[in-house]
Structures are given as C-alpha cells and as structure tokens.
Amino acid sequence: MPIKNGAEYVESLRGRKLKVYLFGQLVKEPVDHPMIRPSINAVAATYDLANAEPEMAGAKSSISGLQVNRFLHIAESAEDLVNQNKMQRRLGQLTGTCFQRCVGMDALNSLYSTTYEIDQKHNTKYHSRLKEFIKMIQRENYVIGGAMTDVKGDRSLSPSQQPDPDMFVHIVKRDKKGVYITGAKAHQTGCINSHWILVMPTMRLKGEDKDYAIVGAVPVDAPGITYIYGRQSCDTRSMEEGDIDAGNSKFGGQEAMIIFDNVFIPNELIFMDGEYDYAAMLVERFTCYHRRSYVCKTGLGDVLIGAAAAIADYNGVASASHIKDKLVEMTHLNETIFGAGIASSYMAHQTASGNWQCDDMLANVCKHNVTKFPYEISRLAQDIAGGLMVTLPSEKDFRGPETGPLLEKYLKGRKGVSTESRVRMLRLIENMTLGRNAVGYLTESMHGAGSPQAQRIQIARQMQLEYKKKLAKNLASVKEGETAEISQENSEYFNKIFGVRKKGKQQ
C-alpha cells in the first residue's frame, strides 16, 4: 500500500533492522531515538504538505499516470521547477530545518536526462530501467536519498590513483545478475530516513576510472550497508527533559556516513555502468538542479527573520530605527537568494529526454549567494537578540523551586510578554544560528551542493565574455578584426542572450 501521510511514513521506517551507529552504539530502532526523531518529523512534513497543498507539493506524473509527491516528480515544464522552489520555501518555513528530500528529487531529474543520452550513444537500456524504477517509487510514495559525495582520500589523486581504492565507491565484482560495490559516502542528508538510495559518482572520470562510473538504486536496508550518524552542535539537548533548550524540539536535519561493503545492485537497478564519459554530465546536471534547490534556505530565513522581529518586540525595541533597518537588510538578502533560484527555474529549457533543466548560471549564482547571505542574516539576528541568547540558564533552572522565581523576575522583557516566551524565542535563534539546525542553515549553505569555489568555476565557464565584449564594442563603434555586427532589435538581442545561455558556452 502506498504511503498516504506523515504518520504512515513514520511507521514505514520501523522494523527495518538498519545497522546504524550513534555514540559508538548500535541503535535498536532509529524511529524512537530522541536525537533521530526530529529529522524523521521533518521528512513527514513533506507528506503532509502534499496533502494540504497538492497543486504546489504534488503533481500529475506522465510516467505513472498518478498524482505524486513533487519530490518524486520528473519536471515536465518550467512551471514544475518553479513549484519545486515554492514547495521548498514553504517547507523551510514549516520546519525551520533541512527536510532532506531535495537530493533525491534532483538526482532523479538529472538521471532522467543523462540516462536517455547514454542510451542514445551506447544503445543501453538505462533510461527504460530508470522509468520503471520511477513508476515503482511513485506508486509506493517512497523517500529517495541521493549519495554522491565520496570521502575522496587524497584529493590530488583521481579515484583509480588512490592508495586505497575504497576512497571512492566502486565496483569490486560482478556476476550475471548485477554488481557489488564497496566504498563510503559522506555527509549523506536524510539517508537513514529514506527508503531507497541512488548511488552516483562524485566527479568527472577518465577511462581508467571505469569501475567508479556506477549509478544504481539500493534499498536503505540492503545487506552490507552501515550507517554512522553525524554529530551536530547541541544535538544532545533533544535527549534532555523538556523542550525549551532544544530551540526547535520538533524538527531537525540529519547527516550520516554510509559505508558500502560488497553491496549488491541488480542489473535492473543499474543506470550507469562504466560510461565514465557521462559522469561529468550527471554531476553537472545534478548540481545545477541542486544549487537552485537552495532556495529552501529562504524558508529558514523567513523563520529567522520572524524570530528576530519577535525578540525585538519582546525586548521593547521593535520601533528603533536601527532594528527596522537590520530587518530590512535581512529580508533583502533572503529575497535575493530566492530571486536567483526561482529565476533559474523560470529560465529552464527542455532536454532531449523531454524533462526540463533549470538555468545553470542562475542556479550557481543562487547557491553562491547562499554561501554568504545566511551568515549575514544570522549575524544580524544575533545582533538583535543580544547576548542573553548564549548565556541563558537551562530549562531545569527555570523549573527549579529556588532558581525559577528568580529567573522569572529578572529575565522578563516588556510588559505583556511572558519570560518563557522570550526564552523560547532566544533558544530558537540560538538553535538556527549556533545549535543543531545551524547545520541545515549555515554549514550546509556553505558546503552542500559544492563549496563556494565550485560555483565560481561554473560561473566563470558561463560568463560569455566574448559575446559581452561584442555588445560593448558595437555600442562604442569599435571595429577590430572580425567583430560581429549585433542587431539592435530587442527580439534578436534577447534571442542571442537566451541562446547562448542554453548552450552554456561563449559566442
């Protein structure tokens, strides 16, 4: 039976007997662990939003013919991509954290077009296999995780040059039924909360790296997989009594390391096997989708801006001009991120396979903004909140018979606001800028989908400087060499720009 809502999703994760380690101990049931459960709740919200707002968070799939969760949908128009962004921002607003499904959505879409083009060149059957897999996951309404980031070892060496070949996931043996892979993937968002994992290469590959050019789907509970749960700042607060000190006690993100030890992938779930020349295409298309997907951080930004405005009100300084100006700047930065991301979706183009790919330049500009602006938004939120955000006593002290009345008296703000409300808002700001969900808002903003230099490389490749120099020379009446004459008609002018953008190269 397909999963219908968040509650059913949570139950679908029970009893899988995953090999999950946390604090050096095997976790008996991840669903019930207090450090893991907030991240599960965040994924559950993606199911409930699809029911509450089906036009934004759901879509009619031409592959299965079903109304499906948008996280499982292959984009069939630019509007589909725009709705992805609207859904991502809304989920950020609802959870205040990473809801962990964007990697899977972006992996499916990038694989859809890449497998089609591999088949066209090599006469393989990857695309039809992928479509059958998509039909199955849409029918069952599963969560798909994407595993791209290898541990890499010595970064100056290619995969095949590593002293230890397991630094990149690779094929170790094969038989008539499929292949076996070994290696590890780091920083894997929501992997334990998924039903299936798409394993992909992490970089451009060469002929000698053929064994690393493997893409396939594996169940999360497949034999041979070990998960080691990642620490996050202040994460053990979720294991304490009470809910105030956690800041956001209901929702959280999840990152873990996945270790593959001779994990089997059957032939019908293999979507690339040795076609090393298409690894770069897959990675670049994935990062294009995923860097644009970082508009999710604007939903978190909305929450943080709201928290900063609320604490200013609780402190009695909401009308101060400098507070208003800081809130304006926070909003300006947040909307700048969203503007670039959603523009990338609006400027999408159709691929040979029929699905739609967002604009690469604007996707990279979006993500590059994300590596900077959330840090400034957080700094301003901390500025408005004041030092009490990081010196507050514990919830137990507020509940204590001796200390509670003292704290209630001396930590109240303006009249009409309870001390507890003020403390809760301060804890939320701490949670998002320093605590557990700072991973989803800050560190992930820096390194997720590639660190800042990765975006700068892609932006440099698509600057179209030669074309832009021709524009300038034309207006300056500079005639040198074979400078092409440029029409002044707006229609031709814009057609040239958009044509260059879609080809992704200079003209």
Q: Which residues are catalytic?
A: 98, 102, 189, 255, 290, 294, 296, 444
Q: Is 450 exposed, middle or buried (0-12, 13-18, 19+ CB in 10 A)?
A: buried
Structure-block tokens of residue 233? 């700042």
Q: How far apart are CA 111 and CA 284, in angstroms?
A: 11
- The separation between CA 352 and the C-alpha centre of its own chain, rounded to angstroms, equals 25
Q: How far apart are CA 329 and CA 367, in angstroms?
A: 19
Residue type, 259: I
Closest CA to 193 of 301, 80, 47: 47
Q: What does the DSSP 8-state code read for residue 215?
A: E
- At residue 442, φ and ψ (nearest 5 deg) are -110, -65
Q: Is the dihedral of CA 276, 108, 220, 43 positive or negative?
A: positive
Do 198 and 144 form a contact (C-beta atoms < 8 A)?
yes
- The separation between CA 27 and the C-alpha centre of its own chain, rounded to angstroms, equals 26
Q: How far apart are CA 204 and CA 189, in angstroms?
A: 22
Q: What does the DSSP 8-state code read for residue 150?
A: B
Do 407 and 401 form a contact (C-beta atoms < 8 A)?
no
Closest CA to 135 of 81, 222, 74: 74
**H/E element, 456:** helix 452-461
Q: How far apart are CA 231 and CA 266, in angstroms?
A: 33
Beta strands in 311-393 (DSSP E): 349-350, 356-357
Do 294 and 449 form a contact (C-beta atoms < 8 A)?
yes
Do 265 and 215 form a contact (C-beta atoms < 8 A)?
no
Q: Residue 429: which region, alpha, beta or left (left: phi > 0; alpha: psi -120 to 50)?
A: alpha
- CB-based burial, 248-267: b 16+ in 10 Å, e otherwise: bbebbbbbbbbbbeebbbee
- The separation between CA 189 and the C-alpha centre of its own chain, rounded to angstroms, equals 8
Q: How far apart are CA 241 and CA 249, in angstroms?
A: 11
- At residue 264, φ and ψ (nearest 5 deg) are -85, 135
